[in-house]
């Protein structure tokens, strides 16, 4: 017989399991404000560093794609919602440990909307020609992966919020 030290996670018996949208409706105003502030901050940081917003600090060798702004806005909104799940609710009173999906999704968003030849990591790994030949065509897939990772992270965080660990007997 194999035993593990990990507790099983089940939902509490006092409340039936709610849908993700129903759970979002129960969020207090401070969570929504934190989600909005996080989404705006992520949009500004990524848009400035990838030169979607023109500034004297960053330049872009290749013009942005037509899908760069929609991807950035969707991933920023999802990242804002995910970050808001880390704000403790007064009615639950417990903090939950985080996962890595949200962070991977946010990083994927940065790589997806950025200039393929302006990214130093890509240039070191692939060179200028490799960045154009291999990385640029992969950016739409990175964008889809970023959206999916952030959506999965959000659903997981919300579903686990009303759960409690139960040790097997």
User: Residue 12 — very low, low, confident or very high, per pLDDT cuts 50/70/90?
Assistant: very low
Q: Is 152 within the bounds of a domain?
A: yes
pLDDT tens per residue across span 36-90: 999 999 999 999 999 999 889 988 888 999 999 999 999 999 999 999 998 876 6
Q: Which two tokens stand for residue 91?
A: 């009615």
pLDDT at 111: 92
Q: Over the chain, what is the mean pLDDT?
A: 84
Q: Is residue 12 part of a domain?
A: no
pLDDT given for residue 102 in this prediction: 87
Give the domain extent around 119. Answer: 19-161
Output phi, psi for 135, to 5 deg.
-75, -45
Nearest CA among 169, 110, 102 for reference residue 143:
110
The mean pLDDT of 91-111, rounded to a whole number, is 75
What pLDDT does 161 receive?
78
List alpha helices for 61-135, DSSP H: 68-84, 101-113, 120-130
Contact status, residue 141 vs residue 133, Cβ threshold 8 Å: no
Chain position carrying tokens 């040790």: 167
Domain count, the chain: 1
């Amino acid at each position: 017989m194999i035993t593990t030290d990990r507790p099983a996670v089940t939902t509490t018996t006092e409340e039936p399991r709610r849908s993700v949208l129903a759970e979002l409706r129960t969020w207090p105003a401070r969570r929504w404000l934190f989600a909005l502030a996080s989404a705006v901050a992520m949009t500004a940081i990524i848009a400035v560093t990838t030169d979607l917003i023109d500034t004297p600090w960053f330049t872009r060798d290749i013009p942005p794609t037509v899908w760069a702004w929609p991807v950035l806005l969707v991933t920023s909104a999802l990242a804002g919602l995910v970050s808001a799940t880390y704000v403790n609710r007064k009615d639950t009173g417990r903090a939950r440990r985080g996962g890595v999906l949200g962070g991977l999704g946010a990083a994927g968003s940065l790589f997806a909307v950025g200039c393929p030849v302006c990214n130093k990591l890509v240039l070191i790994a692939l060179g200028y020609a490799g960045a154009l030949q291999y990385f640029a065509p992969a950016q739409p897939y990175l964008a889809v992966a970023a959206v999916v990772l952030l959506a999965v992270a959000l659903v997981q965080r919300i579903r686990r919020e009303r759960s409690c660990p139960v040790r097997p007997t």
